[in-house]
Amino acid sequence: MKITVIGTGYVGLVVGACLSETGNDVVCADLDVAKIDGLKQNVLPIYEPGLEEYVERNQASGRLTFTTDVGAAIAGAEVIFIAVGTPPDEDGSADLKHVLAVADSIGRHATREIVVITKSTVPVGTADKVAAVIRPLIAHPFHMCSNPEFLKEGAAIDDFMKPDRVVIGVDADFARDRMGELYAPFVRTGKPIIFMDIPSAEMTKYAANAMLATRISFMNEIANLCEKVGANVDLVRKGIGSDSRIGPAFLFPGPGYGGSCFPKDVKALVRTSEECGAPLGILRAVEDANERQKHRLFDKVREALGGELRGRRVALWGLAFKANTDDMRESPSLTLIEALVHAGATVVAHDPAAIPETQRRLGNRIAYAATGYDALAGADALVVVTDWNEYRFPDFARIRAALNRPVVVDGRNLYDPEKMRALGFTYRSLGRGRE
């Protein structure tokens, strides 16, 4: 199948690489000349495990190509995925200007009957808006489709190649047949392709992310309460996660959610609900809880260092909003860094993947270390922000020797409190009773 993916950001690049892996001819188009030039040389603009190998292999085979000629890419396509950015507007709603600009190009350059798919996360009604732009411009039949992505950063290749489900909103049998054929290789193990109307597919994406964000904020609030009443959130998590109605996923407390999806999508859904006269007050509470949670680590560092941070040196392990990505969007580390610097502390940070992106954002406002242990030298405290595997089983004796003060604030509950205290650390974590 001849496929064009417009947009080579996180979603578009993963979609293009994975669809080419199953034998399709895929063209990924983007107006960013530097990005496309890099991709032609197998230089990726994002860090995602396994993606570089897919891009390199499928470019070498000729199944995957990159171009800045969006019009030509559209002209050769049978199926077109719109995967451009939908950044939040000032009021929290999704900005659709890039999506609608692509729709205009599709209308002007399509040369045959096509299926047009919104892959970007877009509010309910966007497919109708895209169709309204295309309709007066196009000389051939076209069919709209909504195919929301459910890709976890750090595991996106597996999520696409072995999905839990594929959600497809269609308005015609032609689109249903083409999309069923396209996704058949990915659901051979029996996972479902769920066909539905387009508005329901558009809503499904927002509802899924809002539910997961709600679980995260709920568990963070429970962890905070556990500290007040002397309960252990690790045991509470196991107790409720074993209930089949709840399940164990997304019940680990942490420093707050971030990334490209949850913050933006929760805001957009709140905005949509208010515009429709059915406000989602629960999601306002989720947002508020998440903003509070992002300040928890700073409060714990300040308390562990006796209330005074001016002149202190603080080591950070982890900058990305989660492990296995270099994504810094809405990362809790940024909130922590701002608070520490404002309080007069010096920050030195390590992250296996996100240092270049952090340097782009913060420049020399903080220092950067080549290894996690290098960050510790002379520091008055270590704060674990991101749960990269290399931070899970460190050399505690080496940490103890390198730190100026034996203070560890564990924002991911990676370490055992009793062991840390036995090793002589002043140890703070989340929700494990009164520390």
* Residues with catalytic function: 261
Q: How would you classify the pairing of strands 346-350 and 367-368?
A: parallel
CA distance 100 to 37: 25
Maximum Cα interatomic distance, the chain, rounded to a whole number of Å: 75
> Contact 181/82 with Cβ under 8 angstroms?
no
- Rg for the chain, CA atoms, rounded: 23
* Cα-Cα end-to-end distance for the chain: 59
Residue found under tokens 């096509």: 114
> Contact 185/22 with Cβ under 8 angstroms?
yes
DSSP letter, residue 389: G
Q: Which of 57, 133, 52 is nearest to 97 (CA)?
A: 133
CA distance 73 to 29: 7
Per DSSP, helices labelled H in 150-197 are 156-161, 173-183
Residue 30, CB half-sphere, CA atoms under 13 Å: how many?
24
For residue 13, CA distances in Å to 18, 57, 61, 108 come to 9, 14, 17, 24
CA distance 173 to 312: 65
For residue 140, CA distances in Å to 103, 110, 145, 279, 322 come to 14, 7, 16, 40, 44
